[in-house]
């Protein structure tokens, strides 16, 4: 029970800390309030709030773009009505003091509402700055005018906790075409100044050209004089150098001829040696090629022989397996046929034995009936008993032989034949006679023999005379 309570307490503590754990991203400020007057702010770090007692509000610190356009024309300090189109990038400041101001004035405000509020503030400041500058300054120094608007709007934005990242003026327009006319005037003035500058430049060029030609001519004369002196000195030096060069050339030619002859001999010797080495190398390569071709031919022949040998061995193995499987199949078929014949014979034999047992039982029953009948007719004499037996004997033999008449086929092994079948039937009849003898004490064979003997004796006596 104690462990259950501890576990429950731990689970509650874990859930408590899990529900109070916070981790603020870098572009969002988490403002925690509820306990005490001082609010806590988390930006890009983790923190904790007390569940059910403190709440968390979020302020996005992402940059927002605001299009600022004057809703109507604004007069400059020269009373020229212009329309101004600008764009500003703003964001909620991440400074703690500015965030406190933003949490008081902007918390819970949607982004579109915030942009609308900032647009109104920026438009008011832009109208104020445009009315304090001239049109020429506005057109020529857009960056300066934008800087003035930014400096003018910063205090108002700071009160809201908003930081102006940058502000740029996109375009100026005026309905009277003053800006366009100023452009035309400037173009003409620029063209005039350009033509004056061009004429002055051409004059300066002509003066400079003449002076340059004069100086160039003096320099040319002096330089030609120096060139002539230098040419004369050069000719003397060239003649002296030619003599020396001819002498050196003759010496060099002689040395070159000697060196050339020596090199020719060395080249011829090297060429002869190279030819000999080349021929030896060619012979060696030819011998190697022959050896390689011989080995390849030998390998091919050996591979072919091995392949043929392997194929023959596999073919022989396949033929042997095939013959073995055929022999096994024939043996299996023979065994199955023998088993079938054996089963058929066993079934037929069993049927015949069962049928013979039935016949025997029937014969014994009839014998018992005859025995009882004989006891009942004992007083009638042997002749009466014999007559009764002889009357029933054909029916007994018929019943003993009747199962054989219903048999389509009899398969007999050993010395069995039709004579044996008849003998078996007669043996059954004899068994019946023996059974009657044992049960009644009447020897039917003796009775038949005695009856036959008596009839024979009566047949030999002379007939008694008859009275007329």
Pair of tokens at residue 367: 């014998």
The model's pTM is 0.35
Predicted confidence band of residue 288 (pLDDT cuts 50, 70, 90):
confident
Instruction: Output the pLDDT for position 424.
Output: 64
C-beta contacts of 430-439 below 8 A and 24+ residues apart: 431/360, 431/363, 432/363, 432/364, 432/366, 432/367, 432/396, 435/363, 435/364, 435/367, 436/367, 436/370, 436/371, 436/374, 436/389, 439/367, 439/368, 439/371
Q: What is the DSSP code (8-state) at residue 1?
A: -
Instruction: Output the pLDDT for position 461.
Output: 47
pLDDT at 33 over 60: yes
**Spatial contact of 42 and 74, defined as CB atoms under 8 Å apart:** no
pLDDT higher at 191 or 344: 344
**Spatial contact of 174 and 135, defined as CB atoms under 8 Å apart:** yes
pLDDT at 242 over 70: yes
Q: Which domains does the chain have, with CATH numbers?
A: 2-57 (no CATH), 62-176 (3.30.479.30), 351-459 (no CATH)
Distance CA 463, CA 289 (A): 141
Strand partners, 57: 31
The 10s digit of each residue's pLDDT in 354-394 is 777 777 777 777 777 767 766 665 655 555 656 666 666 66
Q: What is the DSSP code (8-state) at residue 170?
A: E
Strand ranges for 93-235 from DSSP E: 162-173
């Amino acid at each position: 029970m104690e462990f259950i309570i501890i576990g429950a307490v731990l689970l509650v503590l874990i859930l408590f800390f899990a529900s109070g754990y916070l981790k603020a991203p870098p572009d969002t400020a988490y403002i925690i309030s509820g306990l005490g007057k001082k609010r806590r702010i988390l930006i890009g770090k983790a923190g904790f709030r007390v569940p059910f007692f403190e709440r968390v509000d979020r302020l996005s610190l992402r940059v927002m773009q605001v299009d600022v356009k004057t809703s109507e024309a604004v007069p400059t300090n020269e009373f020229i009505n212009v329309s101004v189109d600008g764009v500003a990038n703003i964001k909620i400041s991440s400074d703690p003091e500015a965030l406190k101001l933003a949490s008081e004035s902007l918390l819970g405000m949607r982004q579109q509402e915030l942009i609308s509020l900032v647009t109104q503030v920026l438009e008011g400041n832009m109208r104020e700055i445009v009315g304090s500058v001239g049109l020429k300054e506005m057109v020529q120094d857009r960056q300066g005018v934008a800087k003035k608007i930014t400096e003018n709007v910063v205090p108002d934005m700071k009160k809201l906790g908003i930081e102006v990242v940058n502000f740029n003026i996109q375009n100026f327009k005026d309905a009277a075409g003053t800006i366009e006319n100023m452009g035309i005037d400037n173009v003409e003035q620029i063209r005039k100044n350009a033509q004056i500058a061009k004429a002055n430049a051409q004059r300066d060029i002509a003066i400079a050209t003449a002076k340059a030609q004069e100086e160039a001519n003096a320099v040319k004369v002096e330089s030609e004089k120096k060139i002539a002196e230098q040419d004369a000195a050069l000719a003397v030096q060239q003649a002296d150098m030619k003599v020396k060069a001819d002498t050196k050339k003759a010496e060099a030619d002689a040395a070159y001829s000697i060196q050339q002859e020596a090199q020719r001999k060395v080249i011829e010797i090297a060429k002869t040696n190279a030819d000999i080495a080349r021929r030896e190398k060619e012979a060696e390569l030819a011998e190697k090629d022959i050896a390689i071709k011989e080995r390849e031919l030998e390998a091919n022949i050996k591979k072919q022989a091995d392949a043929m040998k392997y194929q023959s061995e596999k073919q022989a193995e396949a033929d042997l397996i095939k013959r073995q499987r055929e022999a096994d199949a024939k043996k299996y078929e023979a065994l199955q046929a023998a088993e079938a014949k054996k089963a058929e014979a066993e079934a037929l034999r069993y049927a015949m034995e069962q049928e013979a047992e039935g016949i025997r039982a029937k014969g014994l029953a009839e014998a018992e009936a005859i025995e009882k009948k004989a006891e009942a007719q004992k007083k009638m004499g042997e002749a009466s008993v014999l007559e009764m037996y002889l009357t029933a004997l054909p029916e007994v033999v018929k019943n003993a032989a009747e199962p054989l008449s219903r048999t389509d086929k009899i398969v007999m092994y050993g010395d069995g034949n039709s004579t044996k079948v008849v003998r078996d039937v007669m043996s059954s009849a004899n068994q019946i006679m023996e059974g009657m003898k044992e049960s009644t004490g009447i020897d039917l064979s003796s009775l038949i023999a005695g009856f036959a003997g008596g009839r024979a004796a009566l047949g030999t006596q002379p007939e008694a005379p008859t009275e007329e």
